[in-house]
Amino acid sequence: MSGICEGRVAIVTGAGRGIGREHALMLASEGARVVVNDLGGEMDGTGKPTEGPALEVVEEIKGLGSDAVANGDDVSSWEGAQRLVNTAVETFGGLDVLINNAGILRDRMLTNMTEEEWDAVIKVHLKGTYAPTRWAAAYWRERTKAGESNDARIINTTSPSGLFGNVGQTNYSAAKAGIAAFTQVAALELARYGVTANCLAPVAYTRMTENLMPGEMAEGLSPRWIAVIATWLASPEAAKVTGRVFHVNGQNLGIAEGWHLGPVQQQPDEPSELRPVVADLMKQARLNSNMFGFDAEGDGYPGHEI
């Protein structure tokens, strides 16, 4: 099988369903050999772990004429993440692409959120991105030290909730914002080893979003659209693209520009003198964004006036 990822070895976490499944299938259709990682639990991370969903995707990939192996390790476990990376190297002889996609939801208003609901989401998303990336980066660094070259990719998964915020998701939004920042730093640190790091902020109709979207949106927001940019970023064609966050909403593809320093004023010496300075800054500054990435005046945020 030939394609833009011909001969490449990829790991996709959370690949048993939804967006991760589409990543794995499209990578395979473009010639990659894939480690399909999934715990097989419920959307909130509960339930008995099973490799069933991962094995189903592996069979689909083999039906495409490509090769894949299932992995049921917990990506938020230090040892599990190491085993995951080792699975790719030992099974397929190397690793070129790591897509960190695994995630859970424990939505709750901040005043009602439990410590366990906070910790579970932060662990799966943030540590579940850090730990596999750490072991993959160590592998690529050792190759560089041994005189080998890399053309490697890290593709992480943030969310519009992490970029713009969303009511009822302080845990999820905080984790996803952390992943976006993590990606930018990883891009800077790992460039010397021939590794790029980018991030996707997907809008897609999956089991994690079906309660938030009407069913008629399913076709236009198929998770397959997310896999298109992910597969391209995984290919050699994307060697010069790094540190970016791509916002993917159906067929619409954009780049989220992130935090920039806006207007600046000199502070007065006394707090009592600060109000007109802040008022002027607010008049000059862009408003915070809503969930669609546009100015959010009237959506619960203050406008330009104080």
Q: Name the band, by pLDDT with cuts 50, 70 and 90, for residue 294.
A: confident
Q: Is the pLDDT of residue 235 over 70?
A: yes
Q: Mean per-residue pLDDT for 273-301?
A: 83
Percent of the chain topping pLDDT 70: 89
Structural domains present in the chain:
9-256 (3.40.50.720), 261-306 (no CATH)
> Cα(231)–Cα(20) distance, rounded to whole angstroms?
11
Q: Mean of the per-residue pLDDT values for the chain?
A: 91
Angle between the N-to-C axes of helices 224-234 and 18-29, in degrees from 0 to 180, rounded to the nearest 10: 50
Could you tell me where the DSSP H helices lie in 160-286? Answer: 160-164, 170-190, 224-234, 275-284
For residue 200, is pLDDT > 80? yes
Average pLDDT for 138-153:
98
Q: Check if the beta carbon of residue 37 is closer than 8 Å to that of residue 86.
A: no
Q: Distances from the Cα of 271 to the Cαs of 275, 280, 284, 302, in angstroms?
A: 8, 15, 21, 21
pLDDT for the residue numbered 297? 65
Active site residue 205: no
What is the pLDDT at residue 20?
97
288 — pLDDT class (breaks 50, 70, 90): confident
- Helices (H) and strands (E) counted in the chain, each on its own, are 9, 8
For the entire predicted model, the pTM comes to: 0.90
pLDDT at 305: 73
Q: Residue 269 has what pLDDT?
A: 96
Tokens of 147: 């005189």
Higher local confidence (pLDDT), 302 or 74: 74
Contacts for 174 with CB less than 8 Å, ≥ 6 apart = 122, 162
Residue with more model confidence, 274 or 296:
274
Token couple for 123: 């662990």
Give kind and range of the element (H or E) at residue 81: helix 78-92
Q: So what's the pLDDT on residue 145?
A: 98
pLDDT tens-digit readout, 247-277:
999 999 999 998 899 999 999 999 999 999 9
Which residue of the set 172, 193, 205, 301 is catalytic? 172
How confident is the model over 18-63, as pLDDT tens digits? Answer: 999 999 999 999 999 999 999 986 665 565 556 789 999 999 999 9
Q: Tell me the one-letter amino acid at 237.
A: E
In terms of C-beta distances under 8 Å and separation of at least 24 residues, what long-range contacts does 39-43 make, across chains too?
39/72, 39/74, 39/102, 40/16, 40/72, 41/104, 43/104, 43/105, 43/207, 43/208
pLDDT, tens digit (0-9, with 9 covering 90-100), for 203-221: 987 555 545 545 555 567 7
Question: How confident is the model at residue 48, as a pLDDT?
Answer: 56
pLDDT tens per residue across span 91-137: 999 999 999 999 999 989 999 999 999 999 999 999 999 999 999 99
Percentage with pLDDT > 90 across the chain:
81
Predicted local distance difference test score (pLDDT) of residue 216: 53
The reported pLDDT for the residue numbered 116 is: 97
